[in-house]
Structure 1
Amino acid sequence: MTEQPRAVLGRILDDLGSTLIDVVAGKADPSTTVTGVLIQDPLDEPAGLPGSVVLGVGVYGAGAVAALVERAAGLGAVAVVVRSPVPVAGPVAEAADRTGVTVLGLTPGASWAQVAALLRSLLATDELGTVGGPDATGGAEPLAGDLFALANATAALLDGPVTVEDRGGRVLAFSSRQDEGDDARIATVLDRQVPAENLRALERRGAFRALYRKEEPVYVTGVSDKPRVATAVRAGGEILGSIWVVVDGPLGEDRTQALQEAAKVAALHLLRHRAGEDAERRLRADLLATVLEGGPHAPQAAARLGLSAQPACVLALRVTGEPSAPDRVAAGHRVAEALALHLAAIHPRTATASLGGVTYAVLPTRSDEDALRAAEAFLGRVGDRVPAVIGVGRLAVRPADLRRSRADADRALRVLGSGRSRRRSARLKDVHAASLLEELRERLAAEDDIPDGPVVRLRAYDARHHTALTDTLDAWLDTFGDVPAAAAAVHVHPNTFRYRLKRLAEVAGIDLDDPEARFEAMLHLRLDPPHP
């Protein structure tokens, strides 16, 4: 019932080992569970994530690599990745044997961003196969694993490195032996995307037009150093993607038939993958909703999302602006996906889902200040392209506390979305007074329960006589009775202001020497500020 997502080290080594990484020290147990990816930073101690793979960016030399292995062991990691060549003798081998942490070497030329994306992609697709429990995929193997296995099987049949790509040239899976390809193929695998210049060259040569029109494979030359054979992956009349093979020349009849059969199998996997992504998204949204609502099932849902082991804060994001704006929904989807990616880079166990027009994220963190900084950094990157605001809840030490953190985030979000604050992100304690006013304003509006009083009488008088006595009272209260400052704020002479002040006291029936009367008037003006 509470089966956890399980990716294993063996799958990573099988899928990436021949192209990106090699075991250089320690014993790699293929059945070792891998839970996430951490990037080492010598100036920042990351949150412990047992079962993680640590990327040793900028770590060189035997002493530094050995120290990283020791540090990774303290975090509960199962492997570290460092740039090859790695000095494996001496301290590195001793540290790997003593801690049980496997040392992996990253091939020269591969970027750390690429390997991080590849690892997280593999882990995410393994979660897809198990997050719903045994029945989620009918007991089948995880989908990306199927595609990688298919790519390897196809490569063996056709004697050439294979990639499976979607219609946009994004690499969904690739086989081993990619080093037998050319520079364009290696760049495609490392970036998980066909380079833009190659896509344009293929379009100019009509390769995609032929690929999508023909049932049989297409032989492509003149675009890269080595020729390619490609076939479309179809489901009915829909093009789902394509399979590309680096070859030495045109395929014979047997190998052409093998490639066409592989395309049929790939179509089933891609259809399952698309359906599985939708199912996973719905499942994670349901689990996150259960966690945020609390109740007896919340701990189990938090465990399935991997949120039980560390404190966390709830972030609530909403796109502001006119609700009827045609691009508001699309902008909401884009910014929700961007937030999920941004927070996943901070902590791999972040859970994100859109519920009722609000995107909620549970971010494992050490404090609400760190969560607020993460929100501010995200909004800073988004800039003014999307008018979004983020409320941040208090730190939840236990999963049961996430409901309260969500309530805080919602209250802060309500203030930020009202347009009465210039801030784009805030914790509840940052806008607590404004939150109380907003809730009181909403209750009064819902119950139509604004009693007659001095401010109401002033507004009515101003409307009938085209005066500005309400503004006069507001300026006087804001300046604590400083007549020259208040007169300057409304651009009149102090004597004129004194006359207006005397007149408004008569019209409103308010005793300006009474602190209770002043407080009531100020509260009323805060609930319904004068219009500029």
Structure 2
Amino acid sequence: MASHSRCAGGPVDSQGDTASLDIGIGARHLAATSVPSFGPCRVAGIYLTDGGWHAVLPGAHGADLQSSVVPQLTALGRSGGPVTIDGQGWAWALPLRGHGGHGGYFVVAADEEPSAHQQFLLQALTQQTGVALANARLLAKERATAEDLRATNTKLAETVRALERTTQIHDRFTRVVVADEGLEGIATALHELTGFPIAVEDRYGNLRAWAGPHQPEPYPKDPRAHREQMLRRALREGRPIREGGRLLSVASPRVDVVGVLALVDPAATAGDQEQFALEYGATVLSMELMRLRSLAETELRLRRDLVEELLSGTDEASAIARANALGYDIERRHHVIVIEGRARAQDQDLFMHAVRRAARSMSVGSMLVSRGGTVVVLSDRVVPWESFRATVLTELGGGRCRIGVGGPCDRAAEFPRSYREATLALKMQQAARGTDQAIAYEDLGVYQLLGEVEDPAAIERLVQQWLGALLEYDARKNSELVSTLSHYLECGGSYNATATALCVHRSTLKYRLQRIREISGLDLTDPNTHFNLQLATRAWRTLQALRG
């Protein structure tokens, strides 16, 4: 972290103020290092009403920023607002508020204005920082008071010990933050401070970290309805609550809950100091979970961007470098998989999440993106694709799903070709109006050859030569003679199979076939005619798919 320079002319001889700065260093450090993970922003500095200006922006001169920014802050008032900083396209002063009221400003800067979502995250971070700094000031005052009381009254020794304990709790969690020890560090610190087993859970009750003896295996998980009721009660009471032999504090940086910190205390012996440690740990947990969530969202967006560029065609060296930065080996053999379908609830996001879970379950691939009403997966494994389709339907809980699998690609430049092949395999299913299934481009047979013809006009001429009269009749009468002929040929000339596929009566089918013979003038029983008509109807379906 950049060095902190005290504002010239600010309060300098106050023991409480100096202690406040020292105690608040962990909160400022966490805030300053978390800002870049929320977007293209950086911290210019922090202004404390009782501690002056602290420059943070790399390369900035504290005195220069102080002289230009501090007067602007005075003019803004307690609600904060935009400020001007040389060399920065956008700068904003966010108010630091705590239990004691207005505590200063958190000044952030960027080359251009962040999105509304990123600004919301910055406001949430500033709110938590203000609370932490307010607590730091309180602790500093309590420490100074404790020093006075220690020498004057033996009766207050217990209060002094409590204050020392509070400071010890703060200092221990400050080390967790500065050392970036994560969820395990938070659980370990709270266990060391209280002596009780500690669990860190996500919002849904899944164990994320444990410290202490007797970790249950498997870890118990409350029913969803009970869990939601407990979370609502914890938010409503605003302090640790007892639930099933445990003392719980929710990590809630905004209105929603992101995690739960649980102290295992079946005998209900935890006192005020343990509750304070639990609450303080929950505040640190809130900020850590929000930081992790922001990092995960950023990585997901970077993965989506990389997939989009690979499918559209991009510079190979650049794609490899970006994939390596994400820890992904793009130079392995891949297949592009295009999945189309829907859940019973008609929710595309639900379908996307179902595909993601199925891909993770069968280790199909972790690079995927929603595109044009489908989900595209870059798969580095070949699996039984029908099994993968069945897994998607299981995750959906019903609905529909069909899959097109592109040919293999060994280089980044081959992804667009594999994507086109997977899309064609999917469109051939649509054109054929058959049952949903998983089809690989390499299994399309004659459709693969027709799809690779460079001049579609050649396919059009073949279709017109053999099916032109029927197509003209269908267009004029709004009939389906070409489709009927295609099903009849694909069913090997079987009346029963064709009637079933078309959902028509045998007599209707016989009438249509008779009309086909009359209009086309062709003998459907002639082997050569049969072959050419089947090739022409498949070419017709290929054209439909290519135009779709």
CA distance in 2, matches of 1:436, 1:481: 24
Question: In the alignment, is the contact (CA less than 8 A) between 1:294 and 1:402 conserved in 2?
Answer: no
Q: Structure 2 counterpart of 1:272, which letter? A: R
Question: In the alignment, is the contact (CA less than 8 A) between 2:340 and 2:403 conserved in 1?
Answer: no
1:353 aligns with 2:378: no
Q: CA RMSD in A?
A: 5.0
Point out the structure with the larger helix share.
2
SS at match of 1:196: coil
* TM-score, L = length of structure 2: 0.52
CA distance in 2, matches of 1:486, 1:264: 68
Structure 1 residue 357: Cα displacement:
3.5
Q: Deviations over 1:202-258 (max 9, x none)?
A: 78xx754532211221133xx3xxx31111222243333321101343433333222
Structure 1 residue 288: Cα displacement:
2.9
1:229 aligns with 2:247: yes
Counting only pairs closer than 5 Å after superposition, residues 107-118 of structure 1 correspond to structure 2 as none
Q: Which residue of 2 aligns with 1:147?
A: 183
Report which of the two structures shows the higher radius of gyration computed on alpha carbons: 2
Q: Deviations over 1:321-371 (max 9, x none)?
A: 69xx86241332232222232233x7xx74333344333333334xx5x46
Q: Which residue of 2 aligns with 1:295?
A: 315
CA distance in 2, matches of 1:482, 1:268: 68
SS at match of 2:376: strand
Q: Which residue of 2 aligns with 1:73?
A: none
Question: In the alignment, is the contact (CA less than 8 A) between 1:315 and 1:362 conserved in 2?
Answer: yes
SS at match of 2:408: coil
Q: Structure 2 vs 1, CA of residues 457 and 264 (structure 1 numbering), >3 Å: closer, same or farther? A: same
Q: Structure 2 vs 1, CA of residues 321 and 522 (structure 1 numbering), >3 Å: closer, same or farther? A: farther
Question: In the alignment, is the contact (CA less than 8 A) between 1:290 and 1:301 conserved in 2?
Answer: no
Q: Structure 2 counterpart of 1:219, which letter? A: R
Q: Which residue of 1 aligns with 2:121?
A: none
Structure 1 residue 281: Cα displacement:
0.9
Q: Percent identity?
A: 22
Structure 1 residue 487: Cα displacement:
12
Q: Deviations over 1:122-161 (max 9, x none)?
A: xxxxxxxxxxxxxxxxxx9999951221111112112211
Counting only pairs closer than 5 Å after superposition, residues 426-437 of structure 1 correspond to structure 2 as 426-435=439-448
Question: In the alignment, is the contact (CA less than 8 A) between 2:239 and 2:249 conserved in 1?
Answer: yes
**2:216 paired residue among 186, 191, 197:** 186
Q: Structure 2 counterpart of 1:231, which letter? A: S
* TM-score, L = length of structure 1: 0.53
1:218 aligns with 2:241: yes
CA distance in 2, matches of 1:268, 1:492: 72
Question: In the alignment, is the contact (CA less than 8 A) between 2:337 and 2:378 conserved in 1?
Answer: no
Aligned residue-pair number: 358
SS at match of 2:409: coil
240-249 or 380-389, which deviates more: 380-389
Question: In the alignment, is the contact (CA less than 8 A) between 1:219 and 1:228 conserved in 2?
Answer: yes
Q: Structure 1 counterpart of 2:212, which letter? A: R
CA distance in 2, matches of 1:488, 1:309: 46
Counting only pairs closer than 5 Å after superposition, residues 61-80 of structure 1 correspond to structure 2 as none
CA distance in 1, matches of 2:387, 2:400: 17
**1:396 paired residue among 391, 402, 409:** 409
Structure 1 residue 398: Cα displacement:
4.4
CA distance in 2, matches of 1:468, 1:417: 16
Counting only pairs closer than 5 Å after superposition, residues 73-88 of structure 1 correspond to structure 2 as none
CA distance in 1, matches of 2:346, 2:352: 10
Q: Which residue of 1 aligns with 2:354?
A: 335
Structure 1 residue 467: Cα displacement:
9.9
Q: Structure 2 counterpart of 1:343, which letter? A: M
Q: Structure 2 counterpart of 1:186, which letter? A: P
CA distance in 2, matches of 1:154, 1:443: 70
1:284 aligns with 2:303: yes
Counting only pairs closer than 5 Å after superposition, residues 154-165 of structure 1 correspond to structure 2 as 154-165=190-201
Q: Which residue of 2 aligns with 1:137?
A: none
1:258 aligns with 2:277: yes
Question: In the alignment, is the contact (CA less than 8 A) between 2:206 and 2:221 conserved in 1?
Answer: no
Q: Which residue of 2 aligns with 1:195?
A: 221
Q: Structure 2 vs 1, CA of residues 332 and 142 (structure 1 numbering), >3 Å: closer, same or farther? A: farther
CA distance in 2, matches of 1:250, 1:269: 28
Consecutive unaligned residues of structure 2, counting only runs of 5 or more, are 1-175, 542-548
SS at match of 1:239: coil
Structure 1 residue 169: Cα displacement:
1.5
**2:212 paired residue among 177, 181, 188:** 177
Q: Structure 2 counterpart of 1:457, which letter? A: A
SS at match of 1:362: strand
**1:416 paired residue among 429, 443, 461:** 429
1:457 aligns with 2:476: no
